[in-house]
Structure 1
């Protein structure tokens, strides 16, 4: 047995035990890659946990720690894997953990900024104002300087000790499980588990370096420069490093405290309009969006400006995908289901051998029951989630790059429902969508895209011709030679055969793990 296999099986056993204790093993059952481990965990663990399946799963993931919490949040949009009830319960999963000690905070800040804490900050509050799976936040005041004679009030984010090692261990397990799923569960390959894990891994990697988060905040601030309705706190780069980030402290009300907003003379409907327009501009205008706009990350300043914080989880969408999404969203809002279907086919999300008419009918069957309700009850985000449930019928592959956007839509829509429950925030954004579609898909937009493509091709043409000349010279001199790695890749693969016997290997290894447990106790 390889060390990698033993490490992954050992960690999987611990996970299965915790999930069994919360009666939440159905998740591993559904994945179908560790039946012997699941069966053994059921035998050795009592299952008397209360609540719905999704609630039990949320508690298990919380106990398992930072990676599991992030996985649960990602799964909250995968109705295609878990069903709508479980996915909905996971949306309530709170990314909160007990804070780590102030001694650790001091050690990290001083190590990262290479100065004593007192030399960096005039005051630093030892108790955190927020503690999550990745980091915790403390309030502080900087030393006086010309721009801030009394010092500047700031929020200091400090990465949790050891969190990067924990994520690396669990991501290795997730990557291995995805490989096993693709090899042993052909029906799940269209969901692209390995690509989904890689997308998740890339997101987590960005969160492990707070300089990336600071850069994301600055980029979004530039995108909204001059916007009087939405803004991003300033980053203090002199007090920012890999494990520490310092930003301007926000003075405002949490976006979901409706009574306080009204008491402050603010209109909740206008707040939601501003949040809706900001999210639309992030996605469609900029292609760079905040992927975690829950109420704890949105504040409203006294003048009504909406302010976002926490830029650890961000998403990007290329122009082509933006156009497709715009077509889909406008098609649903205007009940033009043919447009919705054609957008899927043009993007290549549905295979060309499928029927446009049948997919149009499927889109209508999902949308009409929702669209027939009052506007305030329409959930575009849930509509998209339900649309993905018909993908198996049409052999439609999952789009891991869009999962973050779908999650963000669900979270943002949830904010809208809390603040203005009688209003549909996507309806508020419809004029912006129509204007953007006219500008982007109209004659001038198509001409602009064509000119951009022509310019890009012209810039690359010399390199293309140079490579073509070189390739022709090599062929004429030596014939066609393949790189050794290419030859290796063309050989018959044996890994699938190995993975097919994994369940039997699991049984053997499980006996060893159980023996260890009985000997030393787990």
Structure 2
């Protein structure tokens, strides 16, 4: 135990030294190459690794807190990292299953990883009982690095608040606390296992047999190792391959979207990172949802108001838009709905001159801009949106990309099969 504490302490000191060196290199680069502040910050964060990559992704998904140029730049903050030698992964497995012989649990573990991200590495394996599984193994030292980095960020935040009392983002310490909460959850695989269990229970309660998620083998899972059923399928971004498994690719996408929209209202949390790597069409025709490390939480009432807002937008009813914006957000001051409606009309009138129905068919960059403009208008009226609100729009952007592959000539949002609001009474295990 003492050896581990000493080792973690040395690792923390080394990490602080590494951070100082990377920061110095960034200063030299700024002086010689003069890149934009946002680009330099993104490149520096990527150089610093896991914690800062996650911080960059937080910036990208939180336009209500950060300037537009940073939100846009960090959209490209990648979470793919070089894989570690299998010997490191073996050591983590040995530590987590101490006292057990791995050969009594797994008959096979593929040394070549299926994928490697900043926090974890994924390997295919087989249980001695014959089931094919996927092992999500936390990389060595990630937790120590995480807490060291967060302490550095917290310290830097305090310095900045003292140096610039009138800084635009006066609640920086609150932002850091929010980042810490999210990231600590992401390195706790027991919580991810619970997210998976909740989603599967939601599918069962709602009678949804068209979608699935990996079963968790809890007896072989810990805070740092997650053992899950392996799903076999293809990505939804390859039309030709999808066509081999499904007669109607559009129906595949609608099923995926209906499942996700239902989870917004009927599940404790929603999958907040459903990109091409986390959504697949299985060999049996079902939709597979994987990797529940990043989830969001939203009141069903907020999503209902969001849909009512989009409906009012398509019908250019700015008063209804203003009323539903108030239902989506929170405010501690009296709002003049008509003044807010007038501001929204000024914002959207140019966008909607051509065809109001095209608002959801905009390209992802346009939709992101619209979201940030809308949040900006709300904030000028003292409206504070839920912290996971931007995650909703981020997922809409992901769906937009799926649409361009699977239904390029179809208006999915006008399709009667799509149900964005589910009028089902939430079960007792679900939120509220």
Fold match by TM threshold 0.5: yes
Q: Residue 127 of structure 1: SS of its match in structure 2?
A: coil
* Aligned with residue 188 of structure 1, among 168, 171, 174: 168
Written as runs of structure 1 = structure 2, the 5 A alignment for 1:91-490 is 91-114=75-98, 115-144=100-129, 151-179=130-158, 184-186=164-166, 188-189=168-169, 192-225=171-204, 226-346=207-327, 349-371=330-352, 372-373=354-355, 374=358, 376-377=361-362, 382-397=369-384, 399-423=386-410, 425-428=412-415, 432-433=419-420, 436=423
* Aligned with residue 47 of structure 1, among 24, 33, 42: 33
Displacement of 1:284 in angstroms is 2.6
Alpha-carbon deviations, 1:142-167, whole Å to 9, x = none?
Answer: 113xxxxxx11111100011111111
Q: Distance in 1 between matches of 2:34 and 2:329?
A: 46
Deviates more, 1:300-309 or 1:289-298: 300-309
Cα distance change, pair 331–68 in 1 and its aligned pair in 2 (3 A): same
Cα distance change, pair 429–399 in 1 and its aligned pair in 2 (3 A): farther
Alpha-carbon deviations, 1:365-395, whole Å to 9, x = none?
Answer: 3334444453532665553222112245324
Q: Distance in 2 between matches of 1:62 and 1:406?
A: 24
> 2:24 — aligned with what?
17
Displacement of 1:187 in angstroms is 5.7
Q: Distance in 2 between matches of 1:409 and 1:202?
A: 24
Q: Residue 168 of structure 2: SS of its match in structure 1?
A: helix
Q: Residue 209 of structure 2: SS of its match in structure 1?
A: coil
Displacement of 1:277 in angstroms is 1.1
TM-score of the pair, normalised by structure 2: 0.82
Displacement of 1:409 in angstroms is 3.6
Alpha-carbon deviations, 1:176-202, whole Å to 9, x = none?
Answer: 444455664546347x43333222212
Contact 1:131 1:137 in 2 (8 A): yes
Displacement of 1:401 in angstroms is 4.1
Figure out how many residues of one structure are paired with residues of the other and give that number.
406
Deviates more, 1:164-173 or 1:422-431: 422-431
Q: Distance in 2 between matches of 1:185 and 1:420?
A: 51
Q: Distance in 2 between matches of 1:332 and 1:121?
A: 55
Higher Cα Rg, which structure:
1
TM-score of the pair, normalised by structure 1: 0.69
Deviates more, 1:302-311 or 1:370-379: 370-379
Displacement of 1:98 in angstroms is 1.1
Cα distance change, pair 256–348 in 1 and its aligned pair in 2 (3 A): closer
Deviates more, 1:243-252 or 1:53-62: 53-62
Q: Name stretches of at least 5 consecutive residues in structure 1 with no aligned partner.
A: 1-5, 24-41, 145-150, 449-455, 457-522
CA root-mean-square deviation: 3.4
> 1:35 — aligned with what?
none
Contact 1:230 1:278 in 2 (8 A): yes
Contact 1:153 1:248 in 2 (8 A): yes
Which one has a larger percent helix, Structure 1 or Structure 2?
Answer: 1
Q: Distance in 1 between matches of 2:302 and 2:138?
A: 33
Contact 1:77 1:385 in 2 (8 A): no
Displacement of 1:205 in angstroms is 1.1
> 2:3 — aligned with what?
none
Deviates more, 1:239-248 or 1:265-274: 265-274
Q: Residue 380 of structure 2: SS of its match in structure 1?
A: coil
Q: Distance in 2 between matches of 1:92 and 1:283?
A: 26
Contact 2:113 2:122 in 1 (8 A): yes
Cα distance change, pair 189–265 in 1 and its aligned pair in 2 (3 A): closer
Cα distance change, pair 378–237 in 1 and its aligned pair in 2 (3 A): same
Alpha-carbon deviations, 1:222-245, whole Å to 9, x = none?
Answer: 101231222111111121111111
Cα distance change, pair 434–208 in 1 and its aligned pair in 2 (3 A): closer
Q: Distance in 2 between matches of 1:121 and 1:293?
A: 29
Cα distance change, pair 254–215 in 1 and its aligned pair in 2 (3 A): same
Cα distance change, pair 331–58 in 1 and its aligned pair in 2 (3 A): same
Q: Distance in 1 between matches of 2:82 and 2:252?
A: 32
Displacement of 1:282 in angstroms is 1.5
Contact 2:328 2:385 in 1 (8 A): no
Q: Residue 432 of structure 1: SS of its match in structure 2?
A: coil
Contact 2:296 2:391 in 1 (8 A): yes
